[in-house]
Amino acid sequence: MNALDQATATQLANIEKKAAKPLAELVAQLRASGLTRHSELRSFAMQECGLGYGDANALVHHALQSDGTAAAREANLSEEEVLDGIYTGARAALRPIHTRLLGEIREFGEFETVPRKGYVSLRRKKQFAMLGPATNSRVEVGLNMKGVPGTERLLEQPAGGMCQYKVRVTSPEEVDAELIGWVRQAFDAAA
């Protein structure tokens, strides 16, 4: 079992504990809801099962067997091919931001790059960052760390989301010491 599969198995086991129900029962509850859209099912799991955003999202992906990682693995796509799919069309001009930021992060040490449908998750023992185009003109960097005061640039996110902070980046020049410092904090916290 690779590290990603192990992390997913651990998260699903933790979901069972949090919801105090077996995974099969949770999946049956989602199916019985009559909902079909991922976002609706995620909201349902948050409300009815008491799960946070990330756990609800993982549960819905498990139930629908739909996550971007599985699709990339089944299609046997390389990381570059996944990025080609994410940074296509009008978003192709944002790829240099991603490349520069990822190059800086690789200097920190070992981590896992996990492709998703529209972004890339960066993980150590847990996810520490997410990178991906939010619009045709900016990349968003989601960061998981605690105890850091938000700023005009380091935007605090509501509790229960996938990341505690978000930074909007519109050019490679914005991949600066301040941003790298925040990413480093998140990287270190994920050990």
Q: How confident is the model at residue 54 (pLDDT cuts 50, 70, 90)?
A: confident
How far is 109 from 88, CA to CA, in rounded Å?
29
pTM above 0.85, yes or no: no
Tell me which of 173 and 14 has the higher pLDDT: 173
The amino acid at 52: G
How far is 116 from 56, CA to CA, in rounded Å?
16
CB 2 within 8 A of CB 13: no
Selection from 45, 67, 40, 63 nearest residue 55 by Cα: 45
Q: How confident is the model at residue 7 (pLDDT cuts 50, 70, 90)?
A: low
pLDDT at 149 over 70: yes
Selection from 131, 128, 105, 127 nearest residue 118 by Cα: 131
Query: How many CA atoms does the CB half-sphere of 2 hold within 13 Å?
Result: 7
Backbone angles phi, psi at 114, to 5 degrees: -120, 110
Q: Which residue has the tokens 């509501």?
A: 158
pLDDT in tens, 56-114: 878 888 887 765 555 555 455 677 777 888 899 999 999 999 999 999 999 999 998 88
Per residue in 78-99, is it b (16+ CB within 10 Å) or e — as a string? eeeebbebbbeeebeebbebbe
State residue 176's pLDDT score: 97
Selection from 60, 57, 75, 71 nearest residue 130 by Cα: 57
The amino acid at 4: L
**End-to-end alpha carbon distance in the chain:** 20
